Amino acid sequence: MLEVENLWVRYGTVEAVKGVSFSVPAGSIVSLIGANGAGKTTSLRALTGLVKPGAGELRFGSTSLVGLAPHQVVGLGIAHVPEGRRLFPKMTVLENLTMGAYRRSRADVASTLIMVYEHFPILKERGRQLAGSLSGGEQQMLAIARALMSRPKLLLLDEPSMGLSPIMTAEVGKIIRQINALDVSIILVEQNAMLALTLAQYGYVLQTGQLVMQGKAQDLLRDEGVKKAYLGL
């Protein structure tokens, strides 16, 4: 579904991503793990047109994503849940959800809302509440739900467990599985390598902008180097 080949991104003099390649088979969950500053967020931002790659090929099916604006990428069926959630805190929950569907017809929005509320009943209850007044876990659910409002085929999740309690992290994990079961492919970026590799089928390890390891998630979970560096075992 997605092929990234030899991606390079720089910010001024900082080489943030240095020749990274990865792929996402249709229907799968693929995770990118790595420490602070490894280039995980930058890789996602390159996919959705938020930063311009210096070099590399990004293919979504047969379409190249290089040079597309973010709204065009959304139109192709890729939605991005950014690091730090980036909700509109002074807008209501329902308004935030509607923003996720700004490219779609009113009838589509109504039917998608029904689907989203099935998965996130709490957001229906809290529809008129300001997004900024939700708990951290609820805000993360809203950020994911807002992305689903565009009916993506591929969902990019940037550190969905950040700042959440273990119980909320488990909830987010459950939701990620449910979304994947709806035939939405997922790229899961996480510092929480345990969560990421438990959910994903395949994983890539990034270190200072470079790919240092890749493999089946179950193999990475058993790898001594990964255990020491990323799983705290």
**Binding-site member from 24, 29, 40, 161 for ligand ATP (CB under 6 A):** 40
Interface with ligand ATP (CB under 6 A), residue total 13
Q: Which does 42 bind (CB under 5 to 8 A by kind): ligand ATP, Mg ion, none?
A: ligand ATP
Pairing assessment for the beta strands 63-64 and 29-33 based on DSSP bridges:
unpaired
Q: Least distance to ligand ATP from the beta carbon of 171, Å?
A: 22
Residue ranges binding Mg ion (CB under 5 A): 40-41, 83
**Binding-site member from 1, 8, 18, 37 for ligand ATP (CB under 6 A):** 37
Stretch binding ligand ATP (CB under 6 A), from 9-17, 67-75, 90-98, 112-120: 9-17
Joined together, the tokens standing for residue 97 give 């959800």
Q: How far is CA 147 from CA 53, 66, 80, 166, 220, in A?
A: 23, 21, 6, 23, 29
Stretch binding ligand ATP (CB under 6 A), from 21-29, 36-44, 59-67, 213-221: 36-44
CA dihedral (153, 166, 228, 230) positive or negative: positive
* Rounded distance between C-alpha atoms, residue 69 and residue 49, angstroms: 5
* Rounded distance between C-alpha atoms, residue 31 and residue 27, angstroms: 13
Phi, psi values for residue 19, rounded to 5°: 80, 45
**Binding-site member from 3, 83, 95, 223 for ligand ATP (CB under 6 A):** 83
Name residues contacting ligand ATP, limited to 149-208 (CB under 6 A).
Answer: 191
- The H or E element spanning position 118 is helix 106-119
**Binding-site member from 36, 106, 114, 224 for ligand ATP (CB under 6 A):** 36
Give Cβ neighbours of residue 133 (< 8 Å, ≥ 6 apart).
none
**Binding-site member from 2, 16, 20, 176 for ligand ATP (CB under 6 A):** 16
Which single residue is written with the structure tokens 């730090």? 84
- Please report, as ranges, the residues that interact with ligand ATP according to CB under 6 A: 11, 14, 16, 34, 36-42, 83, 191
